[in-house]
Amino acid sequence: MSFFDALRRRARAWLRRAAGALGHASGGAAPAAMRPDSRWAGPLLLAFALLCVSPAFAQIGDTTYRLRDPVQEQRAREIGKELRCLVCQNQSIEDSDASLARDLRRIVREQVERGASNEQVMAFVHERYGDFVLLRPPFKWSTLLLWATPALALLGGLFAIWRARRVAAPAGIGPLELTEAERQRLAALQGDPKA
Amino acid sequence: MSEVMTPAPKPSRRKLLLFAPLGVAAAAGVGFWAMLRGLQDGSFNPRGVPSALLGKPPPEFTLPALESSGLPALSSADFRGLPGPVVVNFWASWCAPCIIEHPHLMALQRQGVALWGVNYKDRPREAQAFLTRHGNPFARLGVDEPGRVSIDWGVYGVPETYILDRGGIIRWRFAGPLTPELMSQDVLPLLARLRA
């Protein structure tokens, strides 16, 4: 971390000096002064690239317990993405910075390294923390309402529409023809001389 | 146009309908009030995670003692052949809510309740300083510096309190500091029932 901080500090220093050089050059009248000193082009580019890159480094997250085997590490990450961090609750243990999440990440990796299947690792955590730890809840009686809610909402909506239409249908728009009295009133309003 | 409209519902029913939003608002108000009250006395915790170990024995484990305390260590073997119910409390010296709930633990100890502690991710010196300063309520104390045994118990933060019956089965768990309401409504009645 401190290595990148140092790099970024240096990049910032370059930028500052480059800006200074630019300001100095534009002060001169010669047309060549419009072009920034080419000595700074390389460092400037590097600084820009570094500024773009640093958030990507942050996204990799905690690398303390990464497995050496990329296939195993990938599997550990897939498992971790399915497990809720019980401290933050809206993040998976792969995304969370809580110390419990760190411990669980480590446990997942230890077990993957030992050759446990995804199911075995998930079962280990599930045994200790229950359904809540699974970001994808299992389908069973106690979670039936949870899973059925979208279907129930859709059915409810359809029922409401069906009812509303059934009640509204007899009212309709009414007869399309005007009555004699209405026709006379309309003509009077329009000031038709034939009326 | 009125002749083509559906006949209006009976006036008494329509009038009742006027009160429907009021009724909904009143119900929501009562619900909110109950939630807020529960939040305050600790009986309702929207972030609470039910323990997966209820009705089960604790995991197999062996924890070292906090040497400076002179208290015996804690392991799963201690839960076999209990004379009565046991309260297990997970705590740490760096945990502020643990200080808040500490008087309740001291009260349990004074009442002769078997109270065993697990010191979670702590430094021995600071754990000892905590006990010296606030008093030691524990008859046994295990030190879980790596926090692995606590994970086996399903602990996700400190303080957490478990009550086990004399058969060594976990009957109750609360994640968070004990409150006077929890003590009088849950902990003490359950202990009395388990002792009977």
> CB-based contact (8 Å) between B4 and chain A?
yes
Amino acid making up residue A31: P
pLDDT value at position B50? 78
Same domain, A85 and A45: no
Which range of residues forms the domain containing residue A17? Answer: 3-57
pLDDT in tens, A157-178: 999 999 988 876 655 566 677 8
pLDDT value at position A56? 46
Same domain, A145 and A127: no
Residues of B in contact with A174 (CB under 8 A): 1, 4
Q: Exposed, middle or buried: residue B160 (CB in 10 Å: 0-12, 13-18, 19+)?
A: buried
Distance from CA of A100 to the nearest CA of B (A): 7
Regarding predicted confidence, which is higher, B165 or A191?
Answer: B165
pLDDT value at position B5? 53
**Strand pairing partners for B65?**
B142
Same domain, A105 and A159: no
Tell me the C-alpha to C-alpha distance, in Å, between residue A161 and each of A175, B9, B11, B163. 24, 20, 25, 52
Residue A24 lies in a domain: yes
CB contact under 8 A, A130 and B6: no
Local confidence band at A53 (pLDDT 50, 70, 90 cut-offs): low
Preceding omega of B72 cis (within 30 degrees of 0): no
* Cα A25 to chain centroid, rounded: 45
Same domain, A83 and A129: yes
CB contact under 8 A, A107 and B151: yes
> CB-based contact (8 Å) between B148 and chain A?
yes
pLDDT value at position A67? 86
Residue A30 lies in a domain: yes
β B62-63/B114-120 pair status: unpaired
Residue A19 lies in a domain: yes
Same domain, A74 and A93: yes
Domains in chain A, number:
3
Q: Is the confidence at residue A150, as pLDDT, over 70? A: yes
Segment (H or E) for A73: helix A70-81
Distance from CA of A179 to the nearest CA of B (A): 11
Residues of B in contact with A107 (CB under 8 A): 148, 151
CB contact under 8 A, A167 and B6: yes
Same domain, A29 and A77: no
pLDDT value at position B149? 96
| CATH code for the domain in which residue A82 is found | 1.10.8.640
Rounded to an integer, what distance in angstroms lies between the CA atom of residue B62 and that of residue A5? 43
Residue A171 lies in a domain: no
Q: Of the candidates B135, B91, B133, B81, which has an alpha carbon nearest to the alpha carbon of residue B110?
A: B135
Residue A94 lies in a domain: yes
How many Å is the maximal CA-CA distance in chain B?
93
Same domain, A89 and A128: yes
Segment (H or E) for B168: none
- 3-state helix, strand, coil split of chain B in percent (to 5) is 45, 15, 40
pLDDT in tens, A76-118: 999 999 999 988 888 999 988 888 999 999 999 999 999 999 9
Among chain A residues, CA nearest to B49: A132
Regarding predicted confidence, which is higher, A33 or B145?
Answer: B145
pLDDT value at position A180? 87
Token pair belonging to A116: 């446990």
pLDDT value at position B76? 95
Segment (H or E) for B133: helix B124-134
Residue A179 lies in a domain: no
- Helices B20-41 and B11-18 cross at an angle (nearest 10°) of 30
pLDDT value at position B100? 95
Q: Is the confidence at residue A65, as pLDDT, over 80? A: no
Residue A186 lies in a domain: no
Distance from CA of B60 to the nearest CA of A (A): 13
pLDDT value at position B127? 97
Given a contact cutoff of 8 angstroms between Cβ atoms, the answer to whether B154 and B88 are in contact is: no
pLDDT value at position A97? 86
Same domain, A109 and A151: no
CB contact under 8 A, A99 and B147: yes
The mean pLDDT of A32-56, rounded to a whole number, is 61
How much is the mean pLDDT over chain A?
77
CB contact under 8 A, A128 and B6: no
Same domain, A127 and A74: yes
Give the best residue of A65, A84, A85, A86 to mutate against chain B (max B CB count within 10 A): A86
Same domain, A33 and A79: no
Residue A116 lies in a domain: yes
pLDDT value at position B148? 95
Same domain, A128 and A147: no
pLDDT in tens, chain B (196 residues): 444 555 555 666 778 888 889 999 999 999 999 999 888 776 777 777 778 899 999 999 999 999 999 999 999 999 999 999 999 999 999 999 999 999 999 999 999 999 999 999 999 999 999 999 999 999 999 999 999 999 999 999 999 999 999 999 999 999 999 999 899 989 999 999 999 8
> CB-based contact (8 Å) between B181 and chain A?
no
